[in-house]
Amino acid sequence: MVRFLIKLPLRILAFPVWLAVSVINTLGMFLVGLASWIFYLVAGVAVITALGCVGFQLYTWQEVKMHLLCAAVFILIPNIGMWIITGTKLLQCGLRSFIFE
């Protein structure tokens, strides 16, 4: 009973934090999903351009490496966003287990 009385105010204080983290997580998942679609499209265009330039011998390998590096960066950016969203999801699950159990 004493343990319940001690945890009750903490649960009441944690509920708005959980709600805010849930909203941030949902919006973040939507924005990262939308951005990743766009970033992967740009990366694909950069790779196709680089391979086309090599195939038609328009550029040297030094210039093509810059295209491929650009594509790698554009592929990495959404993955970093997903790591952040995974962290907020872990925080949300931890708060949910504290509040509702």
| pTM reported for the whole predicted model | 0.78
Radius of gyration of the chain (CA): 22
Q: Is residue 1 part of a domain?
A: no
Q: Is residue 82 part of a domain?
A: yes
Domain count across the chain: 1
pLDDT (mean) for 64-75: 91
54-74 burial, b for 16+ CB within 10 Å, e for fewer?
A: beeeebeeeebeebbebbeeb
Q: Is residue 4 part of a domain?
A: no
Q: Is residue 10 part of a domain?
A: no
Q: Is residue 16 part of a domain?
A: no
Q: According to the model, what pLDDT value does residue 92 have?
A: 96
- Nearest partner of 49 among 63, 38, 35, judged by Cα: 63
pLDDT at 90 over 90: yes
Write the pLDDT tens digit of every residue in 35-49. 999 999 999 999 999
- In this structure, the chain runs to a length of 101
Q: Is residue 25 part of a domain?
A: no
The C-alpha atoms of residue 19 and residue 14 are separated, in whole angstroms, by: 9
Quickly tell me which residue has 């952040």 as its tokens. 84
Q: Is residue 9 part of a domain?
A: no
Give the domain extent around 79.
35-101
